[in-house]
Amino acid sequence: MDKYFICLANSYKRGGRCIAGVEITVSQDDHWEIVRNKDGSPHWIRPIDQHTEFGEILEGEARHISLLSVVKLSDVLPCPHDSHSEDVNYMQMTTICMISGNHEVLDLFTDNIHSEIFYTTELAISPEVYAMGNYSLMMIHPENVSFQVDPTKNRARYRMLFSYHGVNYDLSITDPVFYERVTLQPDIITSLSDIYLTLSIGLVYEGRHHKLIAGILIPSNKNNHHPFEIIHQGRLQEKNVRPFTKKEISNCKKAFVVPSQEGLSLCIRNKDGGEHFILLDDGITIEPWERINLKKALIVTYIDSMGKEIKRLRTVVPTKSSIFKKILKFFTN
């Protein structure tokens, strides 16, 4: 069975990422509606990778999934574990579109059932409490927000202090987008007050399951779309097209096609050890793991409906070895 959810968390998790969101249904006229539990609370989904040690989603699959993306999971199979009742296995994860996140929308995701955060007012829960629980994800609209650097960490990590139903909390932040914002705009933390938080219970650490801030969402004041209308990323405006530069080509050790959550991507592995990914443009027909000659490829830059630049690979020509493999496959079948 396929399912859709709105991504409300893309956080650090044991060397990878934890992706989570609220399940939705999408109508034929591109409007969405939240799936709710019997008690009226939003029904959450947390995709689990069956091939990683802790179920974490690999960076290459998770890095392109933005908060408020509408994500499609194929062949979903529930795999609940104690409080992590939202966990599901899946075959493929694909980002298909976006929604607009103003107050009216974000309020729909908030938890109106639990007056305490994950069973107690403490910062962490015991394995016994975790084993008896039935939820590990919630969104809240906190009050009295402030930030401080976590003194227990070797590198700069922040904690957030806030109030929820009259109780003060002090939780660690695991949202990578937040840290990117702070790096670019260090003063932004002084202006973050009207925000929404996606909270999660982490895996056991030092004998306890700690409560974490897995996503920080800032409500939009501008909304040119119907609040419950999805915004297709497929509606793209072409900005420019260019070939790979000589520097990009000379620095490339290997370029090959790999599966990703949005379809197929080109993985460019550099001689300096780094690597990055570019989605294949629409209409490109090429199989995973085929090598690509960058001299015969183009990069096209699009602007999506949110004003964000998206780069894709166009006019790819398989290498001679790839063509030979196709010919060999034809004659051996």
pLDDT in tens, the chain (333 residues): 899 999 999 999 988 999 999 999 988 777 899 999 999 999 999 999 999 999 999 987 887 788 998 999 999 999 999 999 999 999 989 888 888 888 999 999 999 999 999 999 999 999 999 999 999 999 999 999 999 988 777 666 899 999 999 999 999 999 998 988 888 788 888 888 899 999 999 999 999 999 999 999 999 876 555 566 665 544 556 778 889 999 999 999 999 988 765 668 889 999 988 888 888 886 676 778 889 999 988 898 877 655 567 888 886 554 445 444 554 454 455
Domain ranges of the chain: 3-217, 235-332
Distance CA 139, CA 23 (A): 13
Token pair recorded at residue 238? 């072409």
Distance CA 8, CA 217 (A): 8
Handedness of CA 197, 198, 199, 203 (dihedral sign): negative
E strands present in 165-262:
167-173, 196-205, 208-217, 231-232, 237-243, 252-260
Burial environment of residue 220 by CB neighbours within 10 A (0 to 12, 13 to 18, 19 or more): middle
Helix (H) or strand (E) holding 137: strand 137-140
Helix (H) or strand (E) holding 158: strand 158-164
Distance CA 120, CA 26 (A): 35
